[in-house]
Chain A
Amino acid sequence: MERRITGPFADILKNDRDLFNLKFNHASRSDRSLNGNDFFDHLTGIVAPLVNLVAGFPNANAKKLACSLYDLSLALFAQGCFGKNPVYPEVLRAWKELFPSVPQFLAEEPETLPAAISNALINLTTEKSGKQLLWLDIMKGLAPLCSDTDTFLNAGKTAAWRCGMAHYREGALEAAKSLSPQIFARVIGLSGSIDSAKTRDVLKNLIKDPWYYPFPLKKNNDKSLAIVAVGGGFQGFGGPFITPPSAKKIKNMLYLYDDEEYRVLHADIFGATLHRAGKGVPKGRSYSDKSFKIGTDGIVCKGNIKKKFPKLAGFSSAVSTSDTLVVCLPGSHRVFLVAFIMGVDNSL
């Protein structure tokens, strides 16, 4: 069947045919994998329906949206988001599923919104949290609740943190303060009746305690010491470390380092991330918080509370902040995080 572009998008392409062709030629020179047929399929199957849909909205600037989506498509083809065997298939899914559900926002912010959503999905996938689809689902659910693009994107920031981007914790919680109770509850995944007092309490607790568990508890409400996360891993199996890492705390930041380089660790109830921090020792004084203690037998103490973790016995290095203890073992590329937490299964 012959593929055809119709509607307002076809007119826009026709009117500026030379410019669009020039852009494609320019992009294909730097991206040898850019294939004319794939790009045409993308324009007919995804971009054209979107532009034609948004063109019907009052005050919509269809030409601006068409240009923006065209340019962005070329940039995302180069990033491996579209075409055959995409590296970031979630981006394509967002264009197919999320964008048609937010035409009013696309009309409002034709240049910013598509790129922002695509960037967020690339970043979530790169972080290997495995929760990029959860983020996409949350955003789809948020569409009818948000009155404007700013609110929608602000909620997306908090949602990214909720989906494992622990390094964005501070900014995400700041963004959360401006969200309505309904939007905040949808982002975090709170169920049951939502009222402003309840969401305010949850937000307050999340700010206060990085290991606060905001969901209903199945077993008990008591807090206990537990291994809350196990991260790291050997580079040969997709992990970050080439040799078993050691831990250090410098200027209130947790670092893990192997023979190659330092990585900064961010962790809380929604996830843990590691980012490269260079080959040299980061600037600042190195010290460990006294909130946690660990013995060579694997007994961890926080104040009067003690608990034995046999697998942490004979640890090689351990440092803590006021709420998290990081433990490294001599023969392991894994990193163990211990925290004082409510309702978590200790068998982790």
Chain B
Amino acid sequence: MRSMEHYRRISKSPTNPRVKERGHGFDVAALYTEPVSISKGHVGIKQSLDEKLRQAYFWITNHAIISPFYDIEYQDGPNQRFVFGDKKVTIELPSGQSYSSYVLLPLLNLAVRRRCLLVGGPGRGKTAVAILMGILAGYGLKDIKRAIQHGQPQMTIADLLGNPLPSTLVNAESMQDISIAWRMWLGMRVKIIDEYNRIPTRTQSALLTIMGDNYAELLDQVYECPESAWYLTANDDGGGGTYQVIEALRDRIDVVVKALHFNTRFLNELVDRIEDKIRPEEIVPVDIVFQEKEIDAMNREIRSISISSELRRRMEFFAAQFEFCESGARQLEYMTKDTVKLAAVDWQAITSDATGKDAIKDFGNQTKNGLSVRAMMTCLVYVKAMAWFRGDTRVSYEDLRQILPFVLHDKLVQNPDSPFFENSEHKAYRSDYISWIRFLFDESCREYERLDLDRDDPVAELATEFEKGLEGVTEQEAVERQVKIERILGEWSKGRKFYSHMYDDILKMKYLHQRYTNYLRWLKWKDA
């Protein structure tokens, strides 16, 4: 029998010991306010919010959700590797602090207040994770349980949003006179939709308005919802629930987390819980519960995390690989997968032309779509959150590499007919999207480095030159810059295949060329 204290214990030592970098601004007020914090009626050791979130992470993994997985791997120096079986499965023992995505990503979602989908078979703790997030956000267990929206085939918009008050409905002379009894969950900062793929399509549309635009509408009455962290659960993320999930709703989901299986070596933990009559959601330590203003502050701190231009360029290069579809149109601007999709023509018929491009280096053919602005913004938010969680002030390459797959999991639509997946080594990527996207990112970075784009990026140079402004640029200089663009395009067109990553670069050069053309016309008009 274990004591209640055992289950409530949280890490007292720093969870990620490292020396905190100081910002470059020094405020003399800090002389008196650190390290012991002073607030009305409370004195204690000042604890940073990232440390508190890490404590919450370790408490959940140690005492609440048995998730002994470290699929988000960080290395801190050399690590050990082992190869198993005929298929050469590589097992790496991470040398840095690594994490379980199943617990970490919902926590990051709480901090950034976005939308997280938990997928996996029944009984794997998806709803339990969502409930824990609600409790960490400061809600009582009863309130959270009452606020969970359980998806079911008969769910109506009224079930989801609320009902008009009968008395006002009877006496109303206009729509404005109707009062709505809005459902309590709409006002909460943690929203849980259980089995969202069992909600009828019509009700899904109402849910989409709340998720996308943060308000609910019923009988011309509008309820403005606060910014909140969403947790949706589904037994099958492929849309195979009772109802097909509408695409717009799927697109609103920012991050997808898979519930991993139960490791039977940890059965003793379950035995202890039964014997001790412990339910983790009932014993969350108060020290890891966040106040509303703390969640606001976390959000602010996360947004201030910087991302270096070198890293941003790698992400640009990666994202540029997906939209281009050479055979989708005759005009450059329309050579996108979106053109093919909107035309509703057979995907195979359009894309089956042999282009002679290397299927690994040009991996645009592995997807049926490109990345939306929303997807890229979501990536940036979560990678910043990851860096912040680890106590860093700027995003690292590994943060990007680890987080991208979870954000793009539901956003990149795989083209299973791509010749890439025929290769026996790549077959597993048809079902393991996380490894597939990570593989694509690794390959993209390898190609970026092979092209030496950090040092030799003519488009970046042209853009930098243009960003300095056109004021004072002479006619001769403008013409020279145009010639430079024409020369680069000329060089690129000689014998080089039209790889996906070149598409955005060529469009950018066309844009710059046009801006100089307009500028030259203006100069001539001015002189005339």
- Using a CB–CB cutoff of 8 Å, the interface residues on chain A facing chain B are 29-30, 67-68, 71-72, 75-76, 78-79, 111-112, 115-120, 122-123, 153, 156-157, 160-161, 165, 167-168, 170-172, 174-175, 253, 264, 266, 275-278, 280, 282-283
Q: Which residues of B contact A168 (CB under 8 A)?
A: 26, 28, 31
Q: Which residues of A contact B29 (CB under 8 A)?
A: 157, 171
CB–CB A75/B44 < 8 A: yes
CB–CB A160/B42 < 8 A: no
CB-defined A-B contacts under 8 Å, sample of 20: A29-B5, A30-B12, A75-B45, A79-B36, A118-B36, A119-B34, A119-B35, A153-B32, A156-B32, A157-B32, A160-B28, A171-B27, A171-B29, A174-B28, A264-B22, A275-B22, A275-B26, A276-B19, A277-B21, A280-B308
B394 interface residue per 8 A CB criterion: yes
Which 8 pairs across A and B sit closest by C-beta, in order of nearness? A171-B28, A116-B32, A71-B43, A167-B26, A168-B28, A115-B38, A278-B21, A30-B12
Give the tally of cross-chain contacts (CB within 8 A).
Answer: 92
Question: Bound state CA distance, A242 and B203, in angstroms?
Answer: 63
Q: Which residue of chain B is the closest to A168 with respect to CB atoms?
A: B28
Known contacts: A123-B34, A276-B21. The answer to whether A111 contacts B41 by CB under 8 A is: yes
CB–CB B33/A119 < 8 A: yes
Q: Which residues of A contact B38 (CB under 8 A)?
A: 111-112, 115-116
Q: Which residues of A contact B168 (CB under 8 A)?
A: none
Q: Which residues of B contact A278 (CB under 8 A)?
A: 21, 393-394
A120 to chain B, nearest CB (A): 5
Known contacts: A30-B12, A123-B34, A276-B22. The answer to whether A111 contacts B28 by CB under 8 A is: no
A58 to chain B, nearest CB (A): 23
Q: Which residues of A contact B26 (CB under 8 A)?
A: 167-168, 170-171, 266, 275
B507 to chain A, nearest CB (A): 29
> Restricting to B1-54, which residues have a CB under 8 Å from any CB of A?
5, 12, 19-22, 24, 26-38, 40-45
B355 interface residue per 8 A CB criterion: no
Q: Which residue of chain B is the closest to A167 with respect to CB atoms?
A: B26
Question: Bound state CA distance, A116 and B308, in angstroms?
Answer: 37
Taken residue by residue from 373 to 400, chain B's Cβ proximity to chain A (1 for < 8 Å, 0 otherwise) reads as 0000000000000000000011000000
* Chain B interface extent, by class: 20 to 34
CB–CB B394/A280 < 8 A: yes
Q: Which residues of B contact A283 (CB under 8 A)?
A: 306
Partner of B24 from the list A123, A165, A280, A282 (CB cut-off 8 Å) is A282
CB–CB B28/A157 < 8 A: yes
Question: Bound state CA distance, A172 and B189, in angstroms?
Answer: 41
**13 new A-B pairs (CB below 8 Å) besides A123-B30, A171-B28, A275-B26?**
A30-B12, A71-B42, A111-B40, A115-B38, A160-B28, A165-B28, A165-B31, A168-B31, A171-B29, A174-B28, A253-B24, A264-B24, A278-B393
Partner of B31 from the list A30, A111, A120, A266 (CB cut-off 8 Å) is A120
Question: Bound state CA distance, A277 and B20, in angstroms?
Answer: 9
A151 to chain B, nearest CB (A): 14
Q: Which residues of B contact A277 (CB under 8 A)?
A: 21-22, 24
Q: Which residues of A contact B19 (CB under 8 A)?
A: 276
Q: Which residue of chain B is the closest to A280 with respect to CB atoms?
A: B394
Q: Which residues of A contact B36 (CB under 8 A)?
A: 72, 75-76, 79, 115, 118-119, 122
Q: Which residue of chain A is the closest to B23 with respect to CB atoms?
A: A277
Taken residue by residue from 302 to 314, chain B's Cβ proximity to chain A (1 for < 8 Å, 0 otherwise) reads as 0000101000000
Q: Which residues of B contact A275 (CB under 8 A)?
A: 22, 26
B16 to chain A, nearest CB (A): 15
Q: Which residues of B contact A160 (CB under 8 A)?
A: 28, 31
Q: Which residues of A contact B27 (CB under 8 A)?
A: 171
Question: Bound state CA distance, A111 and B43, in angstroms?
Answer: 8
Question: Bound state CA distance, A253 and B41, in angstroms?
Answer: 39
A152 to chain B, nearest CB (A): 11
Q: Which residue of chain B is the closest to A174 with respect to CB atoms?
A: B28
A172 to chain B, nearest CB (A): 5
CB–CB B31/A78 < 8 A: no
Q: Which residues of B contact A153 (CB under 8 A)?
A: 32
A160 to chain B, nearest CB (A): 5
B2 to chain A, nearest CB (A): 16
Question: Bound state CA distance, A68 and B38, in angstroms?
Answer: 9
B12, B19, B30, B35: most-surrounded residue (chain A CB, <10 A): B35
A157 to chain B, nearest CB (A): 5
CB–CB A175/B35 < 8 A: no
Q: Which residue of chain A is the closest to B20 with respect to CB atoms?
A: A276
A15 to chain B, nearest CB (A): 17
Q: Which residues of A contact B32 (CB under 8 A)?
A: 112, 115-117, 119-120, 153, 156-157
CB–CB A161/B28 < 8 A: yes
Q: Which residue of chain A is the closest to B42 with respect to CB atoms?
A: A71
